[in-house]
Structure 1
């Protein structure tokens, strides 16, 4: 469903008018449409930056890496597009919708299947919940140096990702923004977040998949540096991956700040609330381009079942 045509900057006004305790699904969708461009390249970049963090906990990395034989290495692009499709569908339709419930059931069953051979403790999923909740804000504030989300947007993000976590069987997720920040900071500077060969291999694979997908061979270095420039320093340092040159990182982050300013203050808001999942399915380079939203997760169930 889309909105009628509104004013030049109608999204921010509507977000601040809504009550996050009642309208969290609407606020999360509006926030996503406000900041995410309709570009699979950029969405894949943000996916890469986010999922590099999940290579930090060795136990989490090992369950995906599987001694270098994990499915991510053979089907990484389709795995990225499938994951983004699910995440965006929960925002498009709301966590409580029948489509999202079916999608969440599929993801939960997938994790349960993997856990039979590669169990992951609850703290890895709690860390994931914090990463998703804080993702927009940290990219805006910590990376681009721009103001973060508003209080209404933050509260809506907490409610959304706590609901997702509950559906996936994740417990003891913080109720507050400060609690989420404390969880992320203590976890990523604690003993559970450490170098491992599996984590380094996995992070490099994610970065290389982004670089090789979107840039010709002579510019693969640029794709790698781009992903590293958007990553937080302590994450890259933990995984012992060489940083992008300081000048490159500075330039990229300054450009990102200018882009955020332009998006927030100069460009008009989208006339309609577009479906984020269409960024995946409608792109000519998408590994899921042939799938329609209503049947995508059902078809995906027939691929890559856990061993």
Structure 2
């Protein structure tokens, strides 16, 4: 005897007022039914879009890759934990405010070394607008229906409120967040299609982020498939700006449909999860957190040599000083942040991050 899957998330969303209950609607639409694999994939599909400018790629890559190479999987973990904290507690909660203040302080720290590169208001607005429309655009890319009207209103309002917490360089408040969801879509499309130089550091950042995902989740003989998956789902404008080859035509046709089918099946035939990702994270014991952190640190130690072996002498970028300057790492190498950066990062990810286990 078959039973209907237990579906409660959409029912609750439909019972709420998006003008008032936008935090709860955002929680319901974004904080459930996640996994480490999917979170890492979304990170790989998201972050390169934010550093397509010359100044953005310079501030992130710096001289030798910084964290995207030296602590590649730790960076994913911290981003994932931070997003989970903001998404669950919302823009008015003190935990979110404390976390975003940490982001502002981290940017201020790096702005002292790279002055002017954290001063572009539209870069911050793009991050917020992109985040507001991310789920909608991703579902459409997979051939699925977009989000509901209530979710559109709630996501626009949620990220509008969150944008008020961020500061650009010299503690400047942001301005120009779009007036509605459609405005967020237009802002993103205009930002993404605006003519841009093709920063060589940007190629290295995107390559490192894509390679981290593939290195973590795919056996070596299937690394090509992992890269095709990312490229088939990534923004074509980002691939072009970052000088990443587009996906193979067959991959572009098949892989989004395959991912779409998997999500459709889950939406249709599986129970909605009873607990959110952050609730499961915060319930982890110290031993569980330590085990996850140990596995992340192991990946961090292995990744620099792996990445350098593939990209240091990339013939496509012969003569590029940044590719040539990539150190020739050998074996397992452990990099640790400065005390200042470490302390700020701990504030940013709050009690969600597994790094709390030490």
**TM-score w.r.t. length of structure 2:** 0.74
| Structure 1 CA distance for aligned equivalents of residues 166 and 264 of structure 2 | 36
Q: Deviations over 1:178-226 (max 9, x none)?
A: 11111111111113x4411011111111101111112222222222222
| Structure 1 CA distance for aligned equivalents of residues 68 and 57 of structure 2 | 11
Q: Deviations over 1:34-93 (max 9, x none)?
A: 5x43x2012101111011212322221111011334232211211111111111101122
Give the counterpart of 2:245 among 242, 245, 257: 242
Q: Which moved more, 1:231-240 or 1:82-91?
A: 231-240
Runs of 4+ in structure 1 deviating by more than 3 angstroms, as ranges, are: 279-290, 302-305
Name 1:4's counterpart in structure 2. none
Name 1:126's counterpart in structure 2. 125
Question: Does structure 1 conserve the Cα–Cα contact (< 8 Å) formed by 2:31 and 2:87?
Answer: no
- Structure 1 unmatched runs, 5+: 1-6, 291-297
Question: Does structure 1 conserve the Cα–Cα contact (< 8 Å) formed by 2:19 and 2:154?
Answer: yes
SS of match in other structure, 2:155: helix
Q: 1:54 to 1:9 in 2, by over 3 A?
A: same
Q: 1:95 to 1:303 in 2, by over 3 A?
A: closer
Name 2:306's counterpart in structure 1. none
Name 1:294's counterpart in structure 2. none
Q: Which moved more, 1:81-90 or 1:258-267?
A: 258-267
Name 1:184's counterpart in structure 2. 188
Pair 1:203 & 2:232 matched = no
Name 1:301's counterpart in structure 2. 343
Q: Which moved more, 1:177-186 or 1:264-273?
A: 264-273
- Structure 2 unmatched runs, 5+: 168-173, 298-339, 348-358
| Structure 2 CA distance for aligned equivalents of residues 102 and 55 of structure 1 | 24
Q: 1:73 to 1:248 in 2, by over 3 A?
A: same
The number of residues matched between the two structures is 288
| Structure 2 CA distance for aligned equivalents of residues 287 and 44 of structure 1 | 17
Higher RCO (C-alpha under 8 Å, 6+ residues apart): 1
| Structure 1 CA distance for aligned equivalents of residues 282 and 207 of structure 2 | 25
Question: Does structure 1 conserve the Cα–Cα contact (< 8 Å) formed by 2:84 and 2:277?
Answer: no
**TM-score w.r.t. length of structure 1:** 0.85
| Structure 1 CA distance for aligned equivalents of residues 156 and 283 of structure 2 | 25
CA radius of gyration, larger in: 2
Q: Deviations over 1:218-243 (max 9, x none)?
A: 22222222211211222212222112
Q: 1:253 to 1:182 in 2, by over 3 A?
A: same
Question: Does structure 2 conserve the Cα–Cα contact (< 8 Å) formed by 1:68 and 1:198?
Answer: no
Question: Does structure 2 conserve the Cα–Cα contact (< 8 Å) formed by 1:55 and 1:200?
Answer: no
Name 1:74's counterpart in structure 2. 70
Pair 1:212 & 2:215 matched = yes
| Structure 2 CA distance for aligned equivalents of residues 304 and 256 of structure 1 | 34
Name 1:295's counterpart in structure 2. none
| Structure 1 CA distance for aligned equivalents of residues 295 and 106 of structure 2 | 18
| Structure 1 CA distance for aligned equivalents of residues 164 and 295 of structure 2 | 27
Question: Does structure 2 conserve the Cα–Cα contact (< 8 Å) formed by 1:88 and 1:277?
Answer: no
SS of match in other structure, 2:130: helix
| Structure 2 CA distance for aligned equivalents of residues 195 and 238 of structure 1 | 5
Question: Does structure 2 conserve the Cα–Cα contact (< 8 Å) formed by 1:20 and 1:27?
Answer: yes
